[in-house]
Structure 1
Amino acid sequence: MDSCVVRFAPSPSGYLHIGGARTAIFNWLYARKHGGRFILRIEDTDATRSSEASVQGILDGLRWLGLDWDAGPFFQSRHLDDHRAAVERLLARGHAYRCFCAREALEAKREAARAAKQTYRYDGACRRLTADRIAALTAEGRAHVVRFKVPRGDGAVAFDDRVYGRVVKRLDDIEDFVLMRTNGQPLYVLANAVDDIRDGVTHVIRGQDGLANTPKQVLIYQALGASLPVFAHMSLTLDPQKAKISKRRHGEHVAIHYYREQGFLPWAMVNFLVLLGWATTDARELFTPQELVAAFDLEGIGRTNSVFHIQPDDPKFITDPKLLSINAHYLRSMPIAALRPHVKARLTAEGLWQADFDGARREWFDQTVDLIRARFHRLTDFATYGRAYFDDAYAMDPDAVARHLQQQPDAARWMPALADTLVGVEPFDAASVEAALRAFLGQWGIKPGQLVNGVRTAVTGQAVGPDLIQVLVCIGRERVVTRLRRAIDSL
């Protein structure tokens, strides 16, 4: 028997966003930590909002993040019979009743309460209908919903939450809530509970916004004679203005696929998202997958809402600086063998991949990636700032050209001469190239900074980068010489 069963149950009404991904990560970590099962369930009963494209987006997002599931994906819409059967059991046991109140009448009562500045709660008008009256209204074909019959009196619903502690809700503060619509479709509060009971879910780990529904679901569990799962409600993730992160408000800047397209590594994304609202006692922030599974526990989830510092209007820091920092850490430190497929995919997408990077020049490719990654933050940097290493058609940074070429008039004299010098360097390795540059400096009386910055700009298009000697050896004699001579056109 599994030690625990958890689930991720998204609604397929759009892409997988960071809030949903964070919930999936917490559940996945808990299952892996305790040797349990992680179930994927698609809650698609709202046909007007669900789509196959959204389902595929959720699956693709989870796979990209590396979150494998043990069962599913199950589709809630295929278990409507279970939901309706549960409603019938609740009706038969006296825990639910049919409500024939017209929508217009309910709206009028709601408006009256609003005008009186009172909180509206269904008054239970149909709670007292006799069996004969119910039969007569049903025979007339009168539309009705099914409501849960909340016990009345001085009692309360109480449960323990692993994050928020003991939660108590007075019964008198809970209205007789709807379980099933007039069209026979179950509401979330019922379907979600019935599915969790059927799937044997032992731990419900979800966002704090689900806490309001939990007392109602506890009542459903109890009425159906089912054991309560362990509840753990995660604090919310907010934007810098302290508004809840949402698809509608923030668009694709909170979509998982956006970060994939923008050159973020899957594990860097996981590592960052888990830090939104969770922490270890030793305040560590960087983990391998194995370390994070071992360290994760529900006690580390905080009650204080976290902030995701999205910066959609900043072209350089397009997202939370901490995410950029974590991604840069993994770009610079992960084994080249592990990084290679990600760089290959990015260069392929940009039309920069060459077949011999997997063949005769494989070693050169790996050494080049290792050389240039130190200053990079995203995979996209390999195709932009690093383009000159993989292709001869690369952009020249106008500021670098102006400062290190156009504002250095002597470069028009010494750069062609340096190209001629490098033609004769043999072998073209670090020691020989360094010796040639030192001799050239002495011969021409050029300042080291002037030569280094001018040559780097000419051969890479950038003002900054790795050690110049390593850059020249990496790019190779023929391409270096050609680029130095071509740079004269910029002067």
Structure 2
Amino acid sequence: MSDSTATSAPTPSTPGETSPGAVRLRVAPSPTGDPHVGTAYMAMFDLAFARQQGGKFVLRIEDTDRARFQADSEQQIFDTLHWLDLNWDEGPDVGGPYAPYRQSERLDTYKPYVDKLIDEGKAYYCYCTSERLAEMRELQQKQKLPTGYDRMCYGKSREERAAEPGFSENPVVRMFIPDDAPLVFDDLIRGEVKAPRPDDQVIMKADGFPTYHLAVVVDDHEMGITHVVRGEEWISSTPKHILLYQGLGLEPPKFAHMPLLRDEKKAKISKRKSPWARLTWFKEQGYLPEALLNFLALLGYPPIIEADGTEREVFTFEEFSENFEWSKVNTVGPIFNLDKLNWLNGHYIRELEPRDFAARILPFLVADGVLPEQPSLPQLGRLNLVAELIQTRINLLSEATPLVAPFFTDDAELPIADDARAQLKETAAQVLDAAIAALEPISGSLGKPDGTGIEWVHERIEAALREAVVDGLGIKPKFAFGPLRTAVSGQRISPPLFESMEILGKHSTMERLKNLRASL
């Protein structure tokens, strides 16, 4: 980067035309690993307000941190936000009137703004080495002084600074913070906010890449962003950004600083400490996107109040967007309660149409080896039947595998879980013998072409087994069918027994009863 002072700075480009009063909001994640759940949290509030106001929602990739950049992270951002149906109007993958939407592709954009600030004395070159800055901070800490740049380079030419210790050939650019820097601003959520006075921040690094503080101001201006929604940790940076807007003669956007998501210890959530801070984790565990959005909304926003005054915690994104008001956003950092999310997810699972539910658990069954990638029509038909049995019994899609697997396992290879075998009573052999004898006379045929004449149905199966085991052996229903459940599913807990037998068919049911009996 050249350190010569230009005689006249290039005129920064002007943002494209937007409709009068049209709102434009953006989410701007960095591709530095698995997307953070906070990205979805912010994007949801952005999109809700943009849709309510008939505005635009923009995705911008802030990839100027090349040391932490990960090539596959950008695609993960696309995939997870699309999974949540938080779809953008403009972005790197869809284009738009303010392209490019990756900061690394906009490097030529920032230098005219930097030159303007330098020419007007609102920014300056800093030649200090990292070693010199470290020594400065150490001394400030020892003397219990406020930490911050001491302006050693301010007002000095390259030659003057080179004559002093700790000189670097490759300078950075720092913004100059005047004594009357604005420290108070209006926040859409919090009202009037006062932030601490910043020091002279670096706005362009020695490699020519802008820092976040400069890039976010320039990009938000050039992309016509009207509302900036971000976490409350950025409150302390807002005076720097407002000062940059003022120094460049630009109109600042409106700011809304959201409460931080916190873990059970009330600490800011992090991917290092909490696996669920990764946005991909929710998809892997089997959460429904609509349940996760509902949950995230409740973290920062109150339930919907019905006409009779009651609260309703279950609502759609459309309802959230329609009723959205910034003044209702919570200002206290909410605790990320997974029990609440699991309850919500279970509710949404039970509300699905059975075939939709079957389609949603299918990828998990394929991943776990229960079904092939291209299931046959008979396999899909059986899955639809099994799905109806288990839909009310799980809170996560990933919990379907142990319940579904027995229906797609060869009879001779069905494993009997240790806890299921351990709970078998002394009467297990007697129960199995009675059940086999009772079921043998029932026809396992499919009946007539018109669907009549089918005997192997759960009502007939249940009646026969109750007569043989409960009435015939005098065993209480609570204990009567445990051995049959273990034989059919291999598990201590399984889908409804008689319906499971109907789906398996007579041949498989009888084989499994006999196999367990032979092992006792």
TM normalised by structure 2 equals: 0.83
Identify the residue that residue 16 of structure 2 maps to in structure 1. Answer: none
Identify the residue that residue 449 of structure 1 maps to in structure 2. Answer: 478
Could you tell me which runs of 5 or more consecutive residues in structure 1 were left unpaired when the two chains were aligned: 310-319
| Range 460-469 or range 85-94, more displaced | 460-469
- C-alpha deviation, 1:421, in angstroms: 4.2
Q: Is 1:388 matched up with 2:411?
A: no
Q: Secondary structure at the match of 2:281?
A: helix
Residue by residue, what CA displacement relative to the aligned partner does 1:452-478 show, whole Å, maximum 9, x if unpaired? 222222212233344433232233222
Residue by residue, what CA displacement relative to the aligned partner does 1:221-241 show, whole Å, maximum 9, x if unpaired? 111121111111111112222
Instruction: Tell me, in whole angstroms, the C-alpha distance in 2 between the residues paired with 1:263 and 1:302.
Output: 28
Contact 2:189 2:327 in 1 (8 A): yes
Greater share of residues in helix:
1
Closer/same/farther in 2, CA of residues 415 and 431 from structure 1, 3 Å limit: closer
Q: Is 1:122 matched up with 2:149?
A: yes
Identify the residue that residue 160 of structure 1 maps to in structure 2. Answer: 186
The 5 Å alignment of 1:295-310 reads: 295-309=323-337
The 5 Å alignment of 1:203-282 reads: 203-250=227-274, 252-280=275-303, 282=305
Identify the residue that residue 328 of structure 1 maps to in structure 2. Answer: 346
Contact 1:421 1:436 in 2 (8 A): no
- C-alpha deviation, 1:65, in angstroms: 1.9
Identify the residue that residue 43 of structure 2 maps to in structure 1. Answer: 24
Identify the residue that residue 57 of structure 2 maps to in structure 1. Answer: 38
Q: Which of residues 358, 361, 374 in structure 1 aligns to 2:392? A: 374
Q: Secondary structure at the match of 1:42?
A: coil
Contact 2:48 2:317 in 1 (8 A): no
Closer/same/farther in 2, CA of residues 135 and 468 from structure 1, 3 Å limit: closer
Identify the residue that residue 423 of structure 2 maps to in structure 1. Answer: 403
Residue by residue, what CA displacement relative to the aligned partner does 1:382-438 show, whole Å, maximum 9, x if unpaired? 211222233335443322322235663523532432342445795112332233234
- C-alpha deviation, 1:200, in angstroms: 0.8
- C-alpha deviation, 1:255, in angstroms: 1.5
Closer/same/farther in 2, CA of residues 183 and 167 from structure 1, 3 Å limit: same
Q: Which amino acid aligns with 1:323?
A: L
Identify the residue that residue 488 of structure 2 maps to in structure 1. Answer: 459
- C-alpha deviation, 1:168, in angstroms: 2.9
Q: Secondary structure at the match of 1:166?
A: strand
The 5 Å alignment of 1:102-141 reads: 102-129=129-156
Aligned-pair Cα RMSD in Å? 2.8
Q: Secondary structure at the match of 1:247?
A: coil
- C-alpha deviation, 1:257, in angstroms: 1.8
Closer/same/farther in 2, CA of residues 405 and 240 from structure 1, 3 Å limit: same
The 5 Å alignment of 1:86-97 reads: 86-97=113-124
Closer/same/farther in 2, CA of residues 339 and 412 from structure 1, 3 Å limit: closer
Identify the residue that residue 477 of structure 1 maps to in structure 2. Answer: 506
Instruction: Tell me, in whole angstroms, the C-alpha distance in 1 between the residues paired with 2:238 and 2:154.
Output: 23
Instruction: Tell me, in whole angstroms, the C-alpha distance in 2 between the residues paired with 1:77 and 1:120.
Output: 31
Contact 2:231 2:260 in 1 (8 A): yes
Identify the residue that residue 56 of structure 1 maps to in structure 2. Answer: 75
Percent of pairs identical after alignment? Answer: 35
Residue by residue, what CA displacement relative to the aligned partner does 1:146-173 show, whole Å, maximum 9, x if unpaired? 22122224x6333211122212347xx3
Could you tell me which runs of 5 or more consecutive residues in structure 2 were left unpaired when the two chains were aligned: 1-18, 93-100, 306-310, 446-453
- C-alpha deviation, 1:294, in angstroms: 2.3
- C-alpha deviation, 1:360, in angstroms: 4.9
Instruction: Tell me, in whole angstroms, the C-alpha distance in 2 between the residues paired with 1:216 and 1:258.
Output: 35
- C-alpha deviation, 1:54, in angstroms: 1.4
Instruction: Tell me, in whole angstroms, the C-alpha distance in 1 between the residues paired with 2:432 and 2:183.
Output: 83
Instruction: Tell me, in whole angstroms, the C-alpha distance in 2 between the residues paired with 1:424 and 1:198.
Output: 72
- C-alpha deviation, 1:367, in angstroms: 3.2
TM normalised by structure 1 equals: 0.88
Identify the residue that residue 8 of structure 2 maps to in structure 1. Answer: none
Q: Is 1:414 matched up with 2:434?
A: yes
Contact 1:157 1:218 in 2 (8 A): no
Identify the residue that residue 5 of structure 2 maps to in structure 1. Answer: none
Residue by residue, what CA displacement relative to the aligned partner does 1:322-372 show, whole Å, maximum 9, x if unpaired? 222122112221122432321222222223236996635655532321221
- C-alpha deviation, 1:272, in angstroms: 2.0
- Number of matched pairs: 475
Q: Which amino acid aligns with 1:34?
A: Q
Closer/same/farther in 2, CA of residues 478 and 152 from structure 1, 3 Å limit: same
